[in-house]
Chain A
Amino acid sequence: MNRFHVLIVVLNLFSLVGCVSHPQSAEEFRKAVPGAFSATVETFEVDRPFGQVASTFQKMGPNCLSKTIKTTSRTTTSYQVIVTTYKPTVLVRGKKAELHVQQHHEQGVINVSKEPAGGYYLLVADAQPVTQTKTRIDLYRPSMGHSVLIQAVKNWATGENVGCPDLTK
């Protein structure tokens, strides 16, 4: 059993012990994150017009995150294959752009609570204009792991080093 297995077991035990039900919508996810053990809210401003941030979300979200990823890890005593499907949703309505990222484990992880359609919510990023040239980002994200995804979404907001995250990491 490697550290990754231990983390998954511990997280699932937390869910069981606390009888935690996972958020079933982006709005429920936003409300749940501030009090959650393994998630946090990060707010920052970028020197970029709202329209540009929204169009980057619209372009990069589907291009980079509509993926099914297979990862394998081996130790001397174990061999694990995890297959995960990610689902991005980008909504641009008036002066707000939203990026939702959901994940569904096809193989290798046992789910212990009801999963919403499209998978568990992993990250939500809200963009709103502050001025003509500045945009505020509210990032509801995991506080452990998924650093590559988080960094990629931040880069999409700032417009610097824009690329797709290697979701196998």
Chain B
Amino acid sequence: MTRFSPRRLLEKRCTHGRRVAVTLLLCAASLLSACSGIKTYENNFNKNLHVHTATDSGSWFSRVHAAVDIHRVGEDCALDYEGTVELTGPATEIGIPPDRRSYLVFVFNSFSFFSNRSGTITYETLVKPRSNHHYDAAASYKNDLYHVMIREIPPDRSASRELDRLALSSCRSSSDRK
């Protein structure tokens, strides 16, 4: 036989209230993320792209957020958004499908609390990773300057080479030649 306890009833109500609040928050968060159109990249392939990220907004009153959007490039050069990887730590491992064209969009999003201004700047490039090759990318943002460099490293780790940035138009022009 359980005795009536106002304290227990209060605890029960609080727990229930917390559950409702958490459920509502989760609903709101999933609704917001769905509305924003951002989805997390599944990242199921072998991790062949190592991204080293360094961001510094240069001020206490602003912040910079980095991410990379991965798009599949179709035969007709049409883009199919596959997802986003947040570059939150200094090193991120990403699996890009080999022997197939992908379009990488490095996104630097800055927000200034002081002036309440936000802006997004991107660096886009076409890549076609080769099997068994590794790719090292450096993505940095400092003093309002950003830099992205991707190097291709062969399986035997001999001389690496810097990949030139390839615009999406280069895909279209190569498709036109076919």
Contact = CB atoms under 8 A, between A and B. Distances in A.
Interface stretch (B37-45, B65-73, B139-147): B139-147
Given A166-B108, A166-B110, A75 B116 contact: yes
A162 B140 CA distance: 11
A161 B147 CA distance: 9
A69 interface: yes
B147 A169 contact: no
A169 B142 CA distance: 13
- Interface of B, secondary structure class, is strand
Contacts of B108: 166
B5 interface: no
Interface string A63-76: 10011011111110
Nearest to B141: A166
B161 interface: no
Contact of B121 (A73, A151, A161, A167): A167
Given A67-B121, A166-B108, A168-B110, A73 B145 contact: no
B119 interface: yes
B123 interface: yes
Interface in B121-177: 121-123, 140-147, 165, 167
> Chain A interface: which size bin?
20 to 34
Interface residues of B, number: 21
A166 B121 contact: yes
B115 A73 contact: yes
A8 interface: no
B121 A148 contact: no
Contact of A166 (B115, B116, B119, B167): B119
A40 interface: no
A152 interface: yes
Contact of A168 (B119, B140, B145, B165): B119
B119 A163 contact: no
Interface of A: 63, 66-67, 69-75, 148, 151-152, 155, 161-169
